[in-house]
Amino acid sequence: MIAVVKDLPPLIRPMQQSDLGAVAAIEAATYDYPWSIGIFRDCLLAGYTNFVLDSDGEPVGYGIMSIAAGEAHLLNICVLERLRRQGIGRRLLDHMMQLAQQTSVERIYLEVRPSNKSAFYLYDSAGFEVLGLRESYYKARNGKEDAVVLVRYFHDVTAESSPESDG
């Protein structure tokens, strides 16, 4: 009997220079104001945490995160439209949060458009909280759109800052 494996879930692997064209194409198909291939190249050169979702050797999603000084900043995460709402983006987000925790990151930040309801649902379900607002942060068809700043803490910061925790 010969078994045929079909529709394997995408693998998460480090992004490579050879992925940049496909990653930029996913970005361009998703956003009205996409990052350029040069920005993705710069993220690789800067040594950011860069991953792709690989399906049969082809990127179908990606995530980019910077880590420094005990903090992480999720800069970009995206999955091809046809693969959304299947838990694949959540798997990538969980993977990146796990890597951040392994490097002793205390918190992870990100910005999201208020109009991006599916992203809000994803981040809320992953334990992110609203921290604030950056006014006129994103380009938009009608000028600018605000960004909601979200944060996910990896430990109880309130216990550390309360008077009772001093001893």
Query: Mind telling me the catalytic residues?
Result: 111, 123
Determine contact, residues 78/34, Cβ cutoff 8 Å: no
- At residue 87, φ and ψ (nearest 5 deg) are 85, 0
Pick the closest to residue 50 from 18, 78, 21, 16 (CA basis). Answer: 16
Determine the Cα–Cα distance for residues 167 and 165; give it in Å rounded to an integer.
5
Kindly report the length of the chain. 167
